[in-house]
Amino acid sequence: MAEAFARAYGSDILDPYSAGVAPAGRIAPLTRLILSERNVASDRQFPKGLDAFSGQPFDLVVNLSGEPLDRPLRAVGLPSARVLEWRVRDPIGQSENVYRDAAAEIEHLVMRLILELRGSGS
């Protein structure tokens, strides 16, 4: 969801990529439904592990996993970056309301980040 919102709202300032420590096999249908209801495309997205970005430089990493990322980032050879910790409840396996709440929270956090980056000229 975070990558989709970042692409939809902040493509002028962000080049977002999403990856997980333990990625799912597919994007959950409720994720796609909720994004489509907001007119946010997710058709080109698919779950990826951190190793998909091994060695690539990033200015910013947003951690939604709830777990420390220092070891996983080093394990796949990702260079140091500013890491933001966003504590968002994982909706996988939860009700549609939990998905909607998570989407609203992630959308808000992404928009706040975009506004921060635009304001700083980064």
What is the per-residue pLDDT across 97-109, written as a single tens digit (0 to 9) for each? 999 999 999 999 9
- Which residues are bridge partners to 85 per DSSP? 63
More confident residue, 122 or 74: 74
User: Quick one: CA dihedral 83, 62, 60, 56, positive or negative?
Assistant: positive
Higher pLDDT among residues 64 and 79, named by residue: 64
CA distance readout (Å), 19 to 1, 58, 118, 120: 11, 13, 24, 26
**What letter would DSSP give residue 80?**
P
Q: Give residue 30's pLDDT.
A: 94
Confidence class for position 75, pLDDT limits 50, 70, 90 = low
Q: What is the pLDDT of residue 78?
A: 67
Share the mean pLDDT of the chain. Answer: 87
Write down how long the chain is: 122
Let me know: does 113 contact 62? Beta carbons within 8 Å: yes
Query: What domains can be seen in the chain, in order of their start residue?
Result: 2-120 (3.40.50.2300)
Chain segment 23-68, per-residue pLDDT in tens: 888 899 999 999 999 999 998 889 998 888 887 888 888 888 777 7
Calpha distance 66→69 (Å, rounded): 9
